[in-house]
Amino acid sequence: MKSTVFIALPGDEPLAEALAESLGGIVAMLEYRRFPDGESYLRIHDSLDDASVVIVARLARPDPKIPALLFAAELVRDLGASRVGLVVPYLPYMRQDTRFHPGEALTSASFARWISNVFDWLVTVDPHLHRYHGLDEIYSIPSTVVAAAPALADWISTNVRRPVVIGPDAESAQWVEAVAGQAGLAWRVMRKQRFGDHDVRIAAPDLDGLKEHTPVLVDDIVSSGGTLAGAVKVLVETGLATPHCVVVHGLFGEASRKTLAAAGVQQVVCTDSVAVLEGVIELAGLLAPAVEEILDD
Ligand code: R5P
């Protein structure tokens, strides 16, 4: 592999170091601070001449991070990088994948254009593909999607006795099926209707023959917490034990933990795609081979 330099956005250094170690690359430090007026200052002290550079950025709550990311990508190219990739375990702005109301911004497509303009490739984990069938519908650079399912399945098999994997809505079927398939578990999917950011109604699945199992709700994202809270309430009303909740991306929007606690959820286990305490399922081991493959290409 050509000399590969990993550079993290502030706070994401452990993931950059883990990838560099596993792939035999080196880490360069991004000096980042804000000027007194809030504008960004960036500097890289290392030489990047002809290097293949990988920028590692966890982009939950993305708005304050986006300028730094775009500046960093242009900076490394200015400093001589021959190729600039992005490892973005949580890819934001995927849920505004249509204009739900006239006049709305199609932010998924705009964000994809910004990223495609400054990066040569990207690797992400379980992006929210609902109305889009693949990232290439909006991203014009090569992208690799890593599935967190093996890591989620491992966690469930190790920590839950006799699990049945349940998705809270039709969109979750893709993740639920993959997780259950990895671990050879039964799975079901519920039906959800959304009436607003915080208002969802969910119907129970057919759980005949599974009432003695431990329910494990699996979803790609927890944001307001409304989906998981609603699903937990319905499952408990049907006589099941309080479900475990396992989610890929723990966004935990404002008041979400309160919403979840009110529904009896004591813990939502997530991957470390987002910097939250609940992010105990590590993704570096799944990301490394995907990054290696794209670097070798
Ligand atoms: C929906 O399409 C997603 O898969 C998640 O179910 C949803 O984003 C969770 O959001 P919230 O926690 O706000 O209900």
Helix (H, G, I), strand (E, B) or coil at 194: strand
Does residue 1 have a pLDDT over 60? no
State mean pLDDT over 39-59: 96
pLDDT at 192: 86
Distance in Å, CA 81 to ligand 1 centroid: 38
pLDDT grade for 210, boundaries at 50, 70 and 90 = confident
pLDDT grade for 89, boundaries at 50, 70 and 90 = very high
Return the ligand 1 atom nearest residue 225 CA. 12
Residue 176 beta carbon below 6 angstroms from any ligand 1 atom: no
The residue contributing the CA closest to ligand 1 atom 8 is 221
**pTM value?**
0.94
pLDDT (tens digit, 9 = 90+) per residue, 145-167? 999 999 999 999 999 999 999 99
Of the candidate ranges 54-63, 190-199, 232-241, the one whose mean pLDDT is the lowest = 190-199
| Beta-bridge partner residues of 203 | 191
The residue contributing the CA closest to ligand 1 atom 13 is 224
State mean pLDDT over 104-125: 98
Return the ligand 1 atom nearest residue 227 CA. 14
The fraction of the chain above a pLDDT of 70, given in percent, is 99
The Cα-based distances of 85 to 112, 186, 205, 276 in angstroms read 14, 38, 42, 25
Return the ligand 1 atom nearest residue 226 CA. 14
pLDDT (tens digit, 9 = 90+) per residue, 71-85? 999 999 999 999 999
pLDDT at 2: 62
CB atoms inside a 10 Å sphere around CB 17: 16
Average pLDDT, the chain: 95
Residue 272 beta carbon below 6 angstroms from any ligand 1 atom: no
